[in-house]
Amino acid sequence: MQADAQFWSYWSIATGLINWAIIFGALIYIPFRRSPTAAQAWMILIFFLPIMGLVLYLILGHTEHPHWRRDRLARLPAILRRAMGELSLDETSGCEDLAPRHAMSSALVQRLGGQPCLSGNHVELDAEYDSVVDRIVADIDAAQHHAHLMFYILMLDEAGERVLSALERAAARGVTCRLLIDAVGSSAHRRRIARRLKDSGVALRIILPLRIWHRGTRADLRNHRKIVVVDGLVGWVGSQNMHRSEYEPSVFYREVMARVVGPVVLELQAVFIGDWYLETEEDIGSPDLMPFSGPGDHAGSMRAQVLPTGPDYPGAQVDILFTDLIFNARERVVLATPYFIPNEPLLQALRTAVSKGVDVTLYVTYTTNSLLVDHAQRSYYDELLAAGVRVMLYRERFLHAKHLSIDDDIAVIGSANMDRRSFELNSEVTLLVYDRVLVQQLRRIEGDYALKSHRLDMGEWQARGFLPQLAENVTRLISPLL
């Protein structure tokens, strides 16, 4: 009995020393190269659960890829320069007469992602889920040279089957077909997809397959992009993965995708070429993937550019763009996102915009598919409402669309949510269009959201119970880690 008591006494001292060593070590190491809010969240977690917090930090605490991946990333800029070099731009891109504030945003995007503003495009928004699938299938069926597709989630359901069948048909008639799908997002069906496409002529690559030892990968650093490029002439970008609208039982997704024709399609092409290289070390860039010769090839009159962001593009974070656009808004800002866990600069931009008299509306889905995210997201409603932001809870479906409109002349459509995962961990792609006609299309979609949303009232919100507020406050502390 005495020996047992002595053992547990030593064990208690040892574990106490280990816990405090972890806490002090974290205090020295964690604040470096992290935002204060992220560092604070990690420190809170490690203070209360030192060993578990340390394990989670070692697995998830870095936003960098492993060394083998970073070696490929070091070669990526040269691959992208060669790919974009096929797009023979003149001294100007046709965007030289942008309004001054648009020119500043365009310059920011080019500095962040390396893609210039290009004129001569036609962009059309499609918010009908099944229509998007139909039209992507039709575009693949019309392909003559190549079809490049990249999705975070691709499922073998009605939607996924139709797209895979279209790719198989295209490959059978001699079209080069390449498909990228994320290992985690498409984990449910990726092995079945690989078996199906094995002898089809469609080249399939899995993005960052999970490995521990040889060429180990991180489970949380994902490629969240949704891109389709057909013959270098037609492109799709936006929020919609390739699965049926009822992705989860009785949960129907609502999305917005942009169909693009014109030179800016080649910027989507360059992103795909870069991602293909990162997975295969194969440089597929060639003139026949870049059929437009530059701004003189007019498919329309819209000016647009693409911003790729994520760990593969160091220093390029999509929240920098969101924050800049909101700060520079003059009349109106409308945001739509399924996950809203902002960092402090974005939150401050929203407060500042309202203080300047800008009408700010945020559309979020009434209930997300994550309990933790639900509570963390709701923890921001108090200060948003107090600042004067109109918070609209969309009820009809799960609002998975991700877009932003500024005043009446800037539309932003892409794959990025407004949370840390999209800001720092995921590879995302965003399309900016400087055009009033496209913003009018987006306004009609936003107007439909309004009819199907409940506007949150401060009095109603403050009347919620103590337990929901407690859950919100607790999850708020770790929200930078979600």
pLDDT digits (tens, 9 = 90+) for 72-111: 888 888 888 887 775 555 444 678 888 888 999 999 999 9
Hey, what long-range contacts does 65-72 have (CB within 8 A, 24 or more apart)?
65/217, 65/218, 65/221, 65/311, 65/312, 66/215, 66/216, 66/217, 66/218, 68/215, 69/208, 69/215, 69/217, 69/278, 72/277, 72/278, 72/281
Tell which wins on pLDDT, 30 or 413.
413
CA atoms of 21 and 34, how far apart (whole Å): 21
Give the model's pLDDT for residue 86.
Answer: 58
Do the domains spanning 67-109+116-303 and 318-481 agree at the CATH topology level? yes
Give the model's pLDDT for residue 8.
Answer: 63
Instruction: Express the helix, strand and coil content of the chain in percent, nearest 5 each.
Output: 45, 20, 35
Tell which wins on pLDDT, 351 or 300.
351
Instruction: Grade residue 7 by pLDDT with cuts at 50, 70 and 90.
Output: low
Residue the block writes with tokens 């309990």: 371
- Whole-angstrom CA distances from 365 to 220, 338, 369, 412, 473 are 23, 6, 10, 19, 20
Give the model's pLDDT for residue 214.
Answer: 64
Report the percent of the chain where pLDDT is more than 70: 86
Give the model's pLDDT for residue 90.
Answer: 46
| Whether pLDDT at 31 is above 70 | no
| Whether pLDDT at 397 is above 50 | yes
According to DSSP, the residues that pair with 229 across neighbouring strands are: 148, 235
Model pTM score: 0.88
**Which residues does 187 contact at the CB level (< 8 Å), separation at least 6?**
none
Q: Which two tokens stand for residue 418?
A: 């407004």
Residue the block writes with tokens 């060394």: 67
Fold adopted by 318-481:
Endonuclease; Chain A (3.30.870)
Q: What is the pLDDT of residues 426-477, one digit of tens each?
A: 999 999 999 999 999 999 999 999 999 999 999 888 888 878 777 777 777 6
Give the model's pLDDT for residue 33.
Answer: 55
Q: In the chain, what are the domain boundaries?
A: 2-60, 67-109+116-303, 318-481
| Whether pLDDT at 170 is above 80 | yes
Instruction: Grade residue 478 by pLDDT with cuts at 50, 70 and 90.
Output: low
Tell which wins on pLDDT, 179 or 35.
179
Give the model's pLDDT for residue 469.
Answer: 77
Give the model's pLDDT for residue 117.
Answer: 94
Q: What is the pLDDT of residues 283-328, one digit of tens each?
A: 998 888 888 655 545 678 999 999 999 988 878 899 999 999 999 9
The average confidence (pLDDT) of the chain is 87
| Whether pLDDT at 12 is above 80 | no
Tell which wins on pLDDT, 455 or 371.
455
Instruction: Grade residue 202 by pLDDT with cuts at 50, 70 and 90.
Output: very high
Instruction: Grade residue 210 by pLDDT with cuts at 50, 70 and 90.
Output: confident
| Whether pLDDT at 1 is above 70 | no
Fold adopted by 67-109+116-303:
Endonuclease; Chain A (3.30.870)
